[in-house]
Structure 1
Amino acid sequence: MKIDYEYLSRIRRAVALYTNKKTSNILDGDFHSIHRGRSMEFDDLKEYNFGDDVHDIDWKSSSRMGSIVVRRYMTDRRHNVMFICDCGDKMMADTDKGQPKKETALMLFGTLAYITGRNGADYALAYPKGEKTTISMFRSGPEHLEKLLYDYEEHIPAQAAISLDKVLDEVVGSINKRMIIIIITDSAGVESLDPKMLRAITKDHDLLIYNIEDAWLTGDHVYDTGIRKYEKLFLSHHAQLHEEEARQKRAMVESFNEMCKQCKIGMTSISQESEIIDKTIDLLERYKHGYYGYFTGTI
């Protein structure tokens, strides 16, 4: 995947991230600040957890207490943005606009991560890999972004043995930080998420979901990724099948919208790379003002 930094730099200032959670880890208000560093007002010590900055380790206190502890401050001027990206055969299909879901997911992650880093935040990536969850460290910068992009691109096609629901649960359970969590998946991934767990997560974290739209199962040139063949025309052009598929998609949108409202989640759909910026701006502005739900076009 070729990274177009000139394109990314042009749209960087078009997007602002906001958080509704007042924590010791994130800035209040507008995300445009590129201030680096933290308040020098010491708060307390806590045991080191995966994802904590190693520069915060208090070695003298660790030696005295017999375990690794880190310093905490009253105000930490950096957001922590966790990207959770889906993998598997389903991500190798096309969107409803005929674009590869894999390329759309990579561009979506790359664009959002670049904007996040350029606006003074640290970000990490988690995705399912085999029977485990791969979780990177929180960092920023071009080298960090490129490494994560290449790692994700390599593992997108691999079928994982664990669900996205399990990945999310492991991320929240293993990282002791307040986070803005951004999930990049498709409709099957969204359906795998447990609303009860989502409600618990949004008590402490901000949660945004990008649903990469699936291609229709009816219409021209319908390819089945499961059997690696094109569907027969008499099935893909069957009028009643198309009507039933449209009905099920409308029901799915209503279900996702209700779940997002109940769990205080912002969610949008992406069908092609050209939609990423406009839909991200719309999603973040709505979320900033407390308008939760699934924001998508009509079917």
Structure 2
Amino acid sequence: MATLLTRVKGKLFIPSRRKSVHALDGAYASLLHGRGLDFEDLRRYEHGDDIRDIDWRATARLSTLLVKRSRATRMHTILFAVDTGRRMAALAPDETAKKEIAIMAVGALGLLSLRHGDDVTVLYGDAADVRRTPPRRSEGALEHALRAIDAACTPASAASDRNELLRTIARTVQRRMIVVVITDEEPITEEHEAALRRLRVQHDVLWITVRDADPVLDRRSRAERRDVDSGWGVPAFLHGDASVVAELAATRAAEDRRRDELLNGLEISHATVSTHDDVVPALITMLHRRAVNVGAR
């Protein structure tokens, strides 16, 4: 049986996506801005490398674009805070469970963290319980964490509780970390915002939103759509109703704008993903935007 990491690698390392892998690998450096680096050697520039790493003297001398590779003198810990409440067991736009896309995001960034010599820890939970895997630097530990996320998130799980996830980080994590919050489109409340402001004082915070499937389809269908919290089903006759579809799209766009404005105001890098294939491009965009913003500060 294929492991969860094998599925992640299948999305990262197939030949047609090799440029994306290089871009994501290069963009990862933006997470580590500010750590001490010792010069190690030179290599050819690859798409996605930070232009600040280009060695212009060596490039001019050898007529080949070269970047400096460095060795970190201080490792980081990447903490993934994953919502595993029952909402994350509901459908994403690609008709898979939202938790599957969350696992892909944790797996992709987790693998990159390991390749760069950083520790990975996963904090996950719902309104009933929050757990955390110990910081580790191995694929075996990352696979264990992904399986823990998968097992914890089911339609029978307790309700999602972002506040408890964020409070647990503030209460139990003393050392500075890079915190990646992975949750769904549920609006960010004033309480969430206050918790994020507190976390930003000590940690570097990123936010990944996993899209919900459209509750009403833009075509006539007998497909069942049922809310995992209330159990309420969407009447089939609403599918294909242009006015209902337009109203829901407008509501989602307004919520997207509010979330973007709030996270931008807090200087929290963020991305939105809808499908497995969205994950790598969305992470590349987020990390490159983060590199630009950090460079401008």
Q: Per the shorter chain, which TM-score range?
A: 0.7 to 0.9
1:172 Cα offset (Å)? 2.4
Residues 12-41 of structure 1, C-alpha deviations (whole Å, 9 max, x = no match): 54321424875xxx54697997847x5xxx
Q: In structure 2, what is the equivalent of residue 256 of structure 1?
A: 259
CA RMSD of superposed structures (Å)? 2.9
Counting matched residue pairs gives 249
SS in 2 for 1:3: helix
> Secondary structure of the residue that 1:18 maps to in structure 2?
helix
Alignment of 1:215-254 (within 5 A): 215-219=213-217, 220=221, 221-226=223-228, 231-254=234-257
Preserved CA contact (<8 Å) 2:90 2:97? yes
Could you tell me the percent identity over the aligned residues? 22
Q: Aligned partner of 2:148: which letter?
A: D
Q: Which residue of 1 aligns with 2:283?
A: 280
Q: What displacement does 1:204 show?
A: 2.7
Q: Deviations over 1:160-194 (max 9, x none)?
A: 36611221121122111111111111011745862
Aligned to 1:95: 92
Q: 8 Å contact 1:91–1:102 — kept in the other structure?
A: yes
The answer to whether residue 150 in structure 2 is matched with residue 153 in structure 1 is yes
Report if the CA contact (8 A) 1:82-1:180 is conserved. yes
Q: More deviation in 222-231 or 239-248?
A: 222-231
**Aligned residue type for 2:213:** A
CA contact (8 A) 2:101 2:279 kept: no
Contact 1:95–1:215 (Cα < 8 Å) also in 2: yes
Give yes or no for contact 2:126–2:161 (8 Å, CA) kept in 1. no
**Does the aligned pair in 2 maintain the 1:21–1:205 contact within 8 Å?**
no
Residue 189 to residue 229, structure 1, CA distance change in 2 (3 Å)? closer
For residues 192-220 of structure 1, what are the alpha-carbon distances to aligned partners after superposition, in whole Å with 9 as ceiling and x for unaligned?
A: 86212212322332111111100111114
Task: Work out whether residues 8 and 114 of structure 1, in 8 Å CA contact, stay in contact via their aligned partners in 2.
Answer: no
Query: Which residue in the other structure is 1:110 paired with?
Result: 107
Q: 1:155 to 1:89 in 2, by over 3 A?
A: same
Whether the 8 Å contact between 1:86 and 1:189 is mirrored in structure 2 is no
Q: One-letter code of the match for 1:241? A: V
Aligned counterpart in structure 2 of residue 144 of structure 1, from 141, 146, 159: 141
Q: Which letter does structure 2 place at the counterpart of 1:132?
A: D
TM-score of the pair, normalised by structure 1: 0.73
